[in-house]
Structure 1
Amino acid sequence: MSHSILGPEAYEWAGTWYKPILTTDASGGAMSIVDSVSPEGSGPPRHVHDAEDETFVILSGTCAFWVAGETVVKGPGETIFVPRGTEHTFRVTDDAPCRHLVILTPGGFEGFFADMAKGQFRIPDDMPAIEASAGRHNLRFTGPPLGME
């Protein structure tokens, strides 16, 4: 997948493209919005955001979300809200990428995506560097990606 769908400002980490469309600075710290395209079958390890609520708005494709032990599938036009402090993950379930907006309140966590893209870190090989950035961004990993338990 090229970044052309998100434009030249987008950056990539582990096959997922990210483009901040509302920065933390632009919102006075209140929130950030990241336009994201995740490849088929992809998804992060189970994790917790200690400082931010996270809302996903699915624009295309389908994702299974695991939130505090419950799994739901969301498709285009649907949303899911993950309160701060709640263990969660997701996995793209289509045989095509999933494009979604990630809305973070307050803003700031999007810096983690930028760190990962800059370092091109790999899970599990580079976990010390990944966990160092996660700590700076109030993120804790708590388990494997969905479907890899």
Structure 2
Amino acid sequence: MAGEEIVLGPLPKGITPAGAGTKVWNVLGHTYFMKAAGETSFAFETYDPPGTGVPPHVHPTQDEHIYVLEGVFTLYLDGEWTTAGPGDTVRMPKGLPHAYYNRSEDITRGLFWVSPAGRLAQLFDRLHDLADSAEVVRLSALHDVEFLPPGSVDGA
């Protein structure tokens, strides 16, 4: 469902219904549902099957948050491993190395948002249905998301 590249302006008013997204992306086993996009913030819901995750990375210009809707996320936050479950809010200030994984046998769902929006929605457009992880890392760097080298985080 990636199509025309997203151009962000002021945040539009309105409601994104439960179980829907204004755009849907499939990125390395995850499904991302865009909930809201504007210049100042970008929000998306994730559906994460067991065994999926996003390796350690940094957003140098964006604060990121997760509100856990379902399941338990295993998180790497600046050198420490922890977990977050339904109702928990995870705060990841810009520049903080972080990662999230679903290491359970159940699905996980979370509402993620970043501020400012940056180029994350445009990155998801580029990553939609892309299977090459090296290309994911390369494209991410072009969109202000920097992945840490493999093996640089113990337990990742």
Pairwise TM-score range, normalised by the shorter structure: 0.7 to 0.9
**What one-letter code is carried by the residue in structure 1 that aligns with 2:139?**
S
Give the TM-score normalised by structure 2: 0.78
Q: What is the aligned length?
A: 136
String of CA shifts for 1:7-55, please: whole Å, max 9, x gaps. Answer: 684221221001111012xxxx110101111111211121111111110
| Correspondence 1:134-149 to 2 at 5 A | 134-144=140-150, 149=156
- Corresponding residue of 2:104: 94
* 2:22–2:33 Cα contact (<8 Å) kept: no
1:130 aligned to 2:144?
no
> Which sections of structure 2, spanning at least 5 residues, go unmatched?
1-18
Q: Report deviation, 1:148.
A: 5.3
1:10 aligned to 2:15?
no
Q: Calculate the aligned-residue CA RMSD, in Å.
A: 2.1
**What one-letter code is carried by the residue in structure 1 that aligns with 2:137?**
E
Instruction: Give the Cα separation in 2 of the matches to 1:111 and 1:83.
Output: 21
- Corresponding residue of 1:105: 115
Instruction: Give the Cα separation in 2 of the matches to 1:142 and 1:30.
Output: 26
| Corresponding residue SS for 2:106 | coil
Q: Report deviation, 1:110.
A: 2.6
| Corresponding residue SS for 1:45 | strand
Structure 1 residues 7 and 49: CA distance shift in structure 2, 3 A = closer
- Corresponding residue of 2:64: 54
How high is the sequence identity, in percent, across the aligned residues?
23
Q: Report deviation, 1:74.
A: 0.5
**What one-letter code is carried by the residue in structure 2 that aligns with 1:68?**
D
Structure 1 residues 33 and 138: CA distance shift in structure 2, 3 A = same
Instruction: Give the Cα separation in 1 of the matches to 2:21 and 2:93.
Output: 30
Q: Report deviation, 1:105.
A: 0.4
Instruction: Give the Cα separation in 1 of the matches to 2:46 and 2:20.
Output: 8
**What one-letter code is carried by the residue in structure 1 that aligns with 2:122?**
G
Give the TM-score normalised by structure 1: 0.81
Q: Report deviation, 1:83.
A: 0.6
* 1:36–1:100 Cα contact (<8 Å) kept: yes
